[in-house]
Amino acid sequence: MANPARPRALVTGASAGIGAAYAERLALNGHDLILVARRQDRLEALRDRLRKERGVDAEVLVADLASGDDLARVEARIRKEPLALLVNNAGFGGYRPFVELGPKVLDELLEVHVRASSRLAHAALPAMVKANAGGIINVASLLAFSGTLPPKPLPHRAIYAGAKAFLVAFSQTLAGELVGTQVRVQVCLPGLVPTEFHEVQGFDRSHLPPPMSAEDVVTASLAALARGEVTCVPGLEDPALLDRLAEAQRAVLMSANKATLAARYREAKGA
pLDDT band at 207 (very low <50, low <70, confident <90, very high): low
Range 155-164 average pLDDT: 97
> Which pairs from 245-251 meet CB under 8 Å and 24+ separation?
none
> For the segment 26-75, what is each residue's pLDDT rounded down to a tens digit?
999 999 999 999 999 999 999 999 999 999 999 999 999 999 999 999 99
- In-domain check, residue 249: no
For 78, the domain range is 8-238
- In-domain check, residue 256: no
Closest of 196, 237, 243 to residue 220, by C-alpha: 237
Give the sheet arrangement for strand 134-139, strand by strand.
58-62, 32-37, 8-12, 85-88, 134-139, 183-188, 231-232
How many structural domains does the chain have?
Answer: 1
Instruction: Kindly report the backbone phi and psi dihedral angles of residue 185, in degrees, each rounded to the nearest multiple of 5, phi listed first.
Output: -125, 135
> What confidence score (pLDDT) does residue 204 get?
55
d(CA 46, CA 49): 5
> What confidence score (pLDDT) does residue 152 get?
84
- In-domain check, residue 40: yes
Q: Which residue has the higher pLDDT, 264 or 48?
A: 48
pLDDT band at 210 (very low <50, low <70, confident <90, very high): confident
**Least confident segment among 29-43, 217-231, 255-269:** 255-269
Q: Is the pLDDT of residue 78 over 70?
A: yes
- In-domain check, residue 229: yes
Q: Is the pLDDT of residue 196 over 70?
A: no
- In-domain check, residue 252: no
C-alpha torsion 190→193→198→203, nearest 10: 90
> For the segment 88-143, what is each residue's pLDDT rounded down to a tens digit?
999 999 999 999 999 999 999 999 999 999 999 999 999 999 999 999 999 999 99
CB 115 within 8 A of CB 166: no
Cite the active site residues. Answer: 160
- In-domain check, residue 269: no
Range 239-265 average pLDDT: 94
CATH number of 109's domain: 3.40.50.720
> For the segment 82-102, what is each residue's pLDDT rounded down to a tens digit?
999 999 999 999 999 999 999
- In-domain check, residue 270: no
What's 206's DSSP letter?
T
Q: Which residue has the higher pLDDT, 29 or 2?
A: 29
d(CA 184, CA 164): 19
State which H helix or E strand residue 45 sits in: helix 40-54
Quote the longest CA-to-CA distance of the chain: 75
- In-domain check, residue 265: no
> What confidence score (pLDDT) does residue 209 get?
76
